[in-house]
Amino acid sequence: MIKVGIIGATGYTGAELVRLLKHHPLVELVALTTQQYVGLPFAEVYPHLSGKVDLVGEELNIPALVNRCEAIFVSLPHGHALPVAQEVIRQGKKLIDLGADLRLKDPAVYAKWYRIDLDQSLDRAITAQLPAQAVYGLPELHRQEIRQAKTVANPGCYPTSALLGLAPLLKNKIIDPNRIIIDAKSGVSGAGRGLSLNTHYCEVNENIKAYSVANHRHTPEIEQELSLLAGGEIKVTFTPHLTPMTRGILSTIYAPLSVNLTLPEILKLYRTFYQDEHFIRIMPPHILPGTKMVAGSNYCALGIVVDERTNQVIILSAIDNLIKGASGQAVQNMNIMFDFPETMALEEAGVYP
C-alpha cells in the first residue's frame, strides 16, 4: 500500500482522481486539499461519493502533506506546481502534475504561451531544472522513462488525443509532417469547475464554437512531442472547439500521405505499433470512433480513413477528457512509477449511453 495525497481535489479532475483511487487496492488516500471547501466532508462536495470517501477537505501545507504521502497528485491550474515539485524532490517522494507547469521543456516557450514566469518566487537554480527533469507522462510513448521518474508531467487532454492518433504515422515517416491539421472538439468539463461566461448553460447549449484559434496553449505541447517522434521540428494547425456535452474529446486529424499505402496497410501499421497497449482500441474500418465509445473509461478509440482522391489520411481519435485525458492517465502513470499492474483501478469499460 502507498499513501497518496491530492492537491486540488475538489475540481473535476481532482474528483475523478478521488473516485478512481478510492477503488485502487494498493492506495490509501490520506489527504485531499482544497481552497474553497476546507473543513467540509468531501462527500458533501461530491455527493455521488457518499459512503465511499470519508476524508475532509484541508488547507494545503506543502511540507507536511509531502511528508505524509509517498505519491502526490497536483490538480491545480498552471503556475502552482513547482513549489510542490521542489518539496517532493527534497523529501524523495513522487509527483504527478496534471497541470502544465512541467510539460514544456523550454522555459521560454512556457513563458510565451502561458504568460507566466515560473521562477518568479522560487529558487531559480532549482526550478530551472524541474521541467527538464520531469518525464512527459504519455505511457504509450514514454513508459520506460516514466518507470524511473520521480516527477511526471501528465499530458493535456487535447495533446493526448492528437499524439496517440499521429504517433504511428510520424514514427514510420509516412505522412508529410509540415501539413498536419488537428480539428478537435471537447466537452465543457475540460474548462474546469470554476464559473465563466463561456461555459454558462445559455452560452453552451445548442451551440458549438471554436476558441483560442491559432493560439491555444496546448499547441506547443503537441508540437514538442510530435517533433520528438519525427526527429525534427514540426508545426501544426490546431483548432479546438467547445461542444454542448459534459465530457469527451474527438480529434479529427488530417495529414497528406508521403508514401502510397492502402487502408489495410495503415491499419496493420497501427495495430503493430499499439499491439501491447491495453488502452488503445483500433476500430475496424466500418466503425468510426465517437466520444460515447470511451466515456467514463481510460481508453482511446482510433479510427483511420484514407482519402485516395486527395491522398490524405484522416485519423479520428476519441478519449474521455477527464479520464484518459487527465485523471485516468495520471493513475496509469502512478501505477507504472510504483511497479503496480498498469491497468489497476482502470479496467472498467465506459458508460453507455
Q: Which residues are catalytic?
A: 157
Q: What are the two backbone dihedrals, phi and then psi, of residue 323, each rounded to the nearest 5 degrees?
A: -105, -85
Helices assigned H by DSSP within the chain: 12-22, 42-45, 62-68, 82-91, 107-114, 124-127, 130-133, 139-148, 157-171, 201-204, 219-230, 263-273, 328-337
How far apart, in whole angstroms, are the C-alpha atoms of residue 304 and residue 315? 5
Give CA separation, 32 vs 42, 43, 136, 145, in Å.
Answer: 8, 12, 24, 28
How far apart, in whole angstroms, are the C-alpha atoms of residue 349 and residue 169? 27
* Cα angle for residues 74, 162, 153 (degrees, 5° grid): 20
The answer to whether residues 41 and 107 touch, using CB atoms and an 8 Å cutoff, is no
Burial call 276-309: b when 16+ CB within 10 Å, e when fewer: eebbbbbbeeeebbebebbbbbbbbbbbbebeee
| C-beta atoms surrounding 67 within 10 Å | 12
The answer to whether residues 32 and 58 touch, using CB atoms and an 8 Å cutoff, is yes
Residue 200's SS3 state is: coil
Cα within 13 Å of Cα(14), Cβ side: 25
> One-letter amino acid identity for 88?
V
Report residue 93 as a C-alpha cell.
517522494
